[in-house]
Amino acid sequence: MEEEDEAFPDKKKKKGHGGCGNSQPKISRDGMKLMAEFKNVGDESIEKKQVLSAEKVHSILKRISDDDCRSMGLNPEYARPDWMILTILPVPPPSVRPSIMMDPTARGEVSFCF
C-alpha cells in the first residue's frame, strides 16, 4: 500500500491523491460559469451544486493561512494566493492614452466609462 520515494528512501508515502482529506467538489463548466458539485454533504443547509463566482473564489483564497502559504512555497509577505485574482483594473489618465484616428484629419482620445 505504501511506496518509497527514490529521492527520500526513509520517507514513505501513501498511494492515492493525497490532499487534506476533506471531500473535494467536482468542478464543471456551464457556459461561462464554473459549477462546484459536492457529493457527500452532511449539512442540509449547504447546496450540493453551487456557482463559483469570482467573489466566492477570492473569499476562499483569502482564508488561506500564512502557514499554508509557506507550505505551498509562497512567502505571505510578498505573494498570497488571493493576490492572483485581479480586483482593481488600473486605467491610465487621458493624457497618456493613445490617440485614435477618427478620420484622416481628426484624432480622438480613447475614453473609458464605468
pLDDT tens digit string along 54-81? 898 899 999 999 999 999 999 999 999 9
Residue 80 maps to a domain: no
Nearest to 34 by CA among 53, 21, 47: 53
What are 2-60's pLDDT values in tens digits? 454 555 555 555 555 566 777 788 899 988 899 988 877 666 766 788 898 889 889 99
Domain extent at residue 12: 1-52
In 10 A of CB 57, how many CB atoms?
16
Question: What pLDDT sits at residue 30?
Answer: 87
Nearest to 76 by CA among 63, 87, 89, 58: 63
Residue 35 maps to a domain: yes
What is the number of domains present in the chain? 1
Global pTM reads 0.57
Q: For 105-114, what is the mean pLDDT?
A: 59
